[in-house]
Amino acid sequence: MKKSTPNLLTALVILAVPFAYAAYIYPTLPQTIPTHFNMKGEADGFGERSTVFLGPGILSGVGLFTFFLLSNIKNFDPKKFKKEDEGMFKKLALFLVGFLSLLGLLITYTATSPKFNITNLLLPLLGISFAIMGWYMPKIHQNYFAGFKLPWTLENVDNWNETHKVAGKIWIYGGIVQAIGTLILPSVAAFIVFIASTFIMVIIPTVFSYRMFKRGNQL
């Protein structure tokens, strides 16, 4: 058995959970269920009950693609890949699979509770995932697939490392702020705070990286 087989089986089981839940609730669903929600978390699109499998299907496809990419990154990125990254990328792959599966469960649950405000859980969940990815960031070595892949970070290893140290701290604290803020704020305000904070979490490391590049990659 290949070393990657247990991880693949684990990923498949995790991704199957939303489908199993959808199949379980399917007989009890009305003929029409919500399929889309506006910024307030209110249902504004509807479809036949068979569409309950659509969300888990799309997310499972994304999850499998992400899993195979991160688990086999050494085959796609031999120039930058470091052997010590292999275990970390496999853990990150399983984390993302778990996150997408949880998201699929959340979307599927809305079919049984049309009045449930999906924003109340979706945005905090995204904030927590950003915080966890922030913890991973300083551990990611220079590569072409994961991280802040800017021209100057890919060109200089010091720039890459320092940028991801800064990004890691910002994403951890920013993700925590997002999770707490979007949990207690009204839906529209929570959405605005989430978008604004995400922009800040991206722009600060980018500006830091560019300024370091302009200084000759010196701190």
- As a whole number, mean pLDDT of residues 99-122 equals 79
pLDDT value of residue 176? 93
Task: Give the Cα separation of 110 and 103 in Å (integer).
Answer: 11
**Angle (nearest 5°) at CA 37 between 124 and 49:** 115
pLDDT value of residue 110? 78
Is the pLDDT at 105 greater than 90? The verdict is no
Instruction: Give every CB contact of residue 195 below 8 A, 6+ residues apart in sequence.
Output: none
Q: Which residues of the chain form beta strands (DSSP E)?
A: 32-37, 43-48
As beta bridge partners, residue 47 has 33
Residue-wise pLDDT for 135-168, tens only, equals 988 888 888 877 888 898 988 889 999 999 999 9
Task: Give the Cα separation of 8 and 5 in Å (integer).
Answer: 5
- As a whole number, mean pLDDT of residues 165-176 equals 94
As beta bridge partners, residue 32 has 48
- Best mean pLDDT range from 25-29, 53-57, 124-128, 138-142: 124-128
Is the pLDDT at 119 greater than 80? The verdict is no
Torsion of CA 48, 49, 54, 57, to 10 degrees: -150
pTM of the predicted model over 0.85: no
pLDDT value of residue 44? 64
- 197 vs 120 pLDDT, higher one: 197
Burial of 209 (0-12, 13-18, 19+ CB in 10 A): buried
Domain definitions of the chain by residue range: 1-117, 118-219
**Whole-number percent of the chain with pLDDT over 70:** 87
Is the pLDDT at 212 greater than 90? The verdict is yes
- As a whole number, mean pLDDT of residues 181-203 equals 89
Is the pLDDT at 3 greater than 70? The verdict is no
**Whole-number percent of the chain with pLDDT over 90:** 22
pLDDT band at 1 (very low <50, low <70, confident <90, very high): very low
Burial of 147 (0-12, 13-18, 19+ CB in 10 A): buried
Residue-wise pLDDT for 67-82, tens only, equals 888 777 777 766 665 6
Task: Give the Cα separation of 208 and 10 in Å (integer).
Answer: 38
